Structure 1
């Protein structure tokens, strides 16, 4: 699958799907700010709490029923009771079905 590119630069057959996926990504970010833990493993455990998301870039790629979001930015919060601030890059893979976009897999790395 091609590398993530900014939506405005990508050639995509369905602009509505891109906006739906961008909305799903931002809703997940908002849920993390509210009280959810990060992505799959810690979701709902309270082990990680995100208090700030500062987005530098969010790229979206959609191919039929699969979507990829690539985020670059800074997160602040607590992990197992310890405060952190981290500039990260993550890639999330999504699938689309009758209920909308659902998160399938995540990769996160330090962006220094």
Structure 2
């Protein structure tokens, strides 16, 4: 039967990991409004620019990903060729979609918030 007693070092490591996790959760809670705001604006910008790149310039989505600004590495782009739209997602926070409309270019769908 395995020894289930924790050594002093493993207890310290466990408490340290719990403390780090609690600090990250507290920071995310305190800064949730700015994080959400930047994520909303970032995904809207990426969706509109990605849509224009994909459906106005007729480039591949892989090529359009190269145009993202630095700091937007977490934003992912997904296209829908049938709907002529691009959706930008910031994981676990928000997403925005822009759709190509003849005569208007790429238009963001209405924000709810």
TM-score normalized by the length of structure 1? 0.30
- Largest Rg, 1 or 2: 2
Structure ranking higher in helix proportion: 2
Which structure has the higher relative contact order (CA within 8 Å, separation 6+)?
2
Structure ranking higher in strand proportion: 1
